[in-house]
Amino acid sequence: MARAATTSDAFNAVAEPRRRDILSYLATEERSVTEIVDLMEIEQPSVSKHLKVLKGVGLVEARREGRQMLYKTNPIAIRPLHEWTRTFERLWRHQLLRIKEQAEANNAQK
Residues that bind DNA (CB under 7 A): 1-7, 16, 18, 32-34, 37, 42-53, 62, 64, 66-69
> With contact defined as beta carbons under 8 Å apart, do 72 and 29 qualify?
yes
Among 43, 48, 96, 104, binds a second copy (CB under 8 A): 96
Q: What is the DSSP letter of 41?
A: S
Binding part of the chain for a second copy, among 29-37, 50-58, 90-98, 101-109 by CB under 8 A, reads 90-98
User: Taking Cα atoms as reference points, which of 16, 78, 76, 77 lies closest to residue 47?
Assistant: 16
In this structure, are residues 46 and 8 in contact, taking their beta carbons and an 8 Å threshold? no
Distance, in Å, from the CA atom of 79 to the CA atom of 74, rounded to the nearest integer, reads: 10
Contact set with a second copy (CB under 8 A): 3-4, 6, 11-12, 14-17, 20, 23-24, 27-28, 73, 75-76, 78-79, 81-82, 84-89, 91-92, 95-96
